Homo-oligomer: A and B are copies of this chain.
Amino acid sequence: MDTIFSDRISNVPRSFIREILKVTSDRSIISFAGGLPNRDLFPAAEIEKATEKVFRDFGRDVFQYSNSEGLSGLREAISRRYHEKGLEIKPEDILITNGSQQGLDLLGKIFINEGDDIIIEEPGYLGAIQAFSIFRPHFHQITLNEDGIDIAKLKSVMASCKPRLMYSVPNFQNPSGISYSEANRYDVAAVLKGTSTLLVEDDPYGDLRFSGDACSSFKTLLPENTILLGSFSKTVVPGFRLGWIVAPPPVMDRLIIAKQASDLHTGSFTQAIVYQYLQDNDINEHIASIRAAYGRQLQAMLDSIGRYFPEGVFHTHPRGGMFVWVTLPPELSSRELLDLAIKDKVIFVPGDQFFVDKEVNNTMRLNFSCTNEETTRTGIERLGKAINRLMKEKSLASLPSN
């Protein structure tokens, strides 16, 4: 039956994450594997109030087919939030999508011909690898260093071809937690300036900064070439599937055609609820409470890693977001570690699937948004023991056998 399928679908990697998450129905397992925001922080009561108002005030048209661009009030609210951050984005340059994941699909549809060169980070966001793979591009993965993308490698790729787009998550990247420094952003902008390469700035985590100052958006540094993706999944709720794309008119024109072809429009009822929620609540106050909680949880994770992980294990030092990236000694496999860790009732995501065509087996992604401080400490202690056990096994195995 395999022959009936399109060539492209066989290019799309499966998400191992979803396989791992099936294990988590066992409540005694501590999971650092998810990529979920913390459900305890959802503004459930406020959403219920907003929903009641929508029923009362919006009338039946909130259940009717709607326009492909999205609810104008919601687009205005997004525009105002950008303004607060110093970015001037017109509401008509915003398209509401089913989460920012759909933004990736729409960008793939309007920009990527088969075989086109595109740049993504290494390690890269799996959802972007999946979304773009549908359109069969040639991926150039460029190393992330602790201060951002590797500029020498970026220059070398830009000298070797004309990438259609560069996909980047400059704030608290998934999976690494790395942010581009201000200097790194200027360097990226200088390399891309005057080229035909579009910079796609995906920013689901930018609001979740626990310390330090926000850096410049590429929309400021490279205004002509930048497309922004945003999301309510980490700041309001993910289950509504509400995100957006910011793009200039000629791109927006094609995005709307692609949106119509994909699903006509994003659900109008949930758009109305989030619009009403934003009218009646101070989202910055809400985000501050998320930041405070996640910040404490990150600190607990970093402290525990310092205490329980053996020497030779390295990790990133995020100042926001939801993830820490861990690199084991090269002789250790994180998939083998996972087998041990599951027995010790702790799980994480092995890092190999965030690499497009390299075999990198000694990395892992740890999520800290869903575990409180105490659970985090317990989980990291268990994981530290598992790493120690695996190291011991490996050094035993590497002893001369006679």
Contact = CB atoms under 8 A, between A and B. Distances in A.
Interface of A: 1-9, 12, 14-15, 18, 35-37, 39-40, 42, 44, 47-48, 51, 55, 60-68, 97-99, 101-102, 105, 109-114, 116, 127, 130-131, 133-135, 164, 196, 198, 233, 237-241, 250, 254, 257-258, 260-270
A61 B48 contact: no
- Determine which residue in A1, A64, A198 has the highest number of CB atoms from chain B within 10 A of its CB, and name it: A64
Given A241-B267, A269-B270, A64 B44 contact: no
B39 A105 contact: no
Given A4-B198, A134-B109, A261 B12 contact: yes
Contact of A260 (B15, B48, B164, B240): B15
Given A36-B64, A44-B63, A239-B62, A134 B258 contact: yes
A239 B101 contact: no
A258 B9 contact: yes
Most chain B C-beta atoms within 10 Å of own C-beta, residue among A1, A35, A135, A257: A257
Contacts of A240: 63, 267, 269
24 contacts: A3-B196, A4-B198, A6-B116, A9-B110, A9-B254, A15-B260, A35-B65, A36-B64, A42-B64, A47-B63, A48-B55, A65-B233, A65-B238, A98-B98, A99-B263, A99-B264, A101-B262, A101-B263, A127-B261, A134-B261, A237-B269, A240-B267, A240-B269, A241-B263
Nearest to A131: B261
A6 B63 CA distance: 34
